[in-house]
Amino acid sequence: MIDNEARLRTASLPAAFVFVTLAVAGCGGTGPESGSADSTVAGTLHVCESCHGPGGRSISPTFPRLAGQQKDYIVAQLQAFRDKTRADPHAQTYMWGMAARLSDPTIDAIAAYYASQTPVAGQPSDSPETVAGKKIFTEGIPSESVPACMSCHGEKAEGNGPIPRLAGQHEAYLARQLEAFASMARANEIMHENSKDLTPEQIREVTAYLATL
């Protein structure tokens, strides 16, 4: 198991170096020289763990928690990283190289593994910030034509298929994604429309609430 200090050192390494590590571990190949399919997936997961944590329960808000995430969503994101169609800055820095050589079967196995893990439980809070965030999540902001987040992400933010689980995710990570959607740094027309009019305060509120679930 990688300790916290080692994990942080790995997170700060250039993407090109980490990609070399991935290749050496045999995570991207598809031929006989790469070993069995099981060993390829195991090697890939070992490298994923250095940033996303054991079982996908990351401790750094730079990297999303994957434990309990929807399988279809993980598959779609890994394919987008591999194909370079998800182009937000963190995707380019961390994931383009990491996913470049992943085969579809490996991606499917990785997604199935993380989807099967127990999600990280949120930290309950009844602060004014989280109370306001719950209102945004459950009711939206009608005056800004912002729909209730739960209408797509589920009553408990558990997600569904290609729609991601948000519950228990790092607050700072969620805030960064909303900001990326708003600016179109991360291209998604639906989420752009839903986030473009959110104020920094509203983003803090709704992400604070999601971290409690």
The answer to whether the beta carbons of residues 165 and 69 sit under 8 Å apart is yes
CA diameter of the chain: 59
**Count of beta carbons in the 10 Å neighbourhood of residue 55:** 19
State the average pLDDT for the chain. Answer: 86
Residues 9 and 89 in one domain: yes
Structural domain span for residue 102:
4-115
The answer to whether the beta carbons of residues 102 and 28 sit under 8 Å apart is yes
- Answer yes or no: is 120 within a domain: no
Residues 171 and 198 in one domain: yes
CATH value at residue 200? 1.10.760.10
Residue 98: is it exposed, middle or buried by C-beta count within 10 angstroms (0-12/13-18/19+)? buried
* The pLDDT of residue 209: 98
Q: How many domains does the chain have?
A: 2
Backbone φ and ψ for 108, nearest 5 degrees, come out as: -60, -40
Residues 110 and 55 in one domain: yes
* The pLDDT of residue 21: 38
Residues 159 and 192 in one domain: yes
Q: pLDDT > 90: what percent of the chain?
A: 80
Locus of tokens 């959607």: 181
- Answer yes or no: is 122 within a domain: no
* The pLDDT of residue 39: 87
Residues 110 and 183 in one domain: no
Residues 157 and 95 in one domain: no
| Residues 6+ away with beta carbon under 8 Å from 204 | 129, 133, 175
Question: Which residue type does 129 have?
Answer: E
Residues 135 and 108 in one domain: no
Residues of the chain scoring pLDDT < 70: 1-36
Distances (CA, A) of 174 to 16, 63, 120: 26, 10, 15
* The pLDDT of residue 27: 39
Nearest C-alpha neighbor of 152 from the set 164, 134, 170: 164
Nearest C-alpha neighbor of 212 from the set 151, 139, 126, 154: 126
The answer to whether the beta carbons of residues 66 and 56 sit under 8 Å apart is yes
Residues 100 and 153 in one domain: no
- Answer yes or no: is 123 within a domain: no
Residues 152 and 96 in one domain: no
- Answer yes or no: is 69 within a domain: yes
Distance CA 31, CA 136 (A): 49
* The pLDDT of residue 176: 96
* The pLDDT of residue 35: 47
Residues 109 and 149 in one domain: no
Stated pTM of the model:
0.82
**Count of beta carbons in the 10 Å neighbourhood of residue 80:** 18
Residues 28 and 109 in one domain: yes
Q: Which residues of 13-28 are buried (b: 16+ CB within 10 A; e: fewer)?
A: eeeeebbeebbebbbb
- Answer yes or no: is 201 within a domain: yes
Residues 109 and 145 in one domain: no
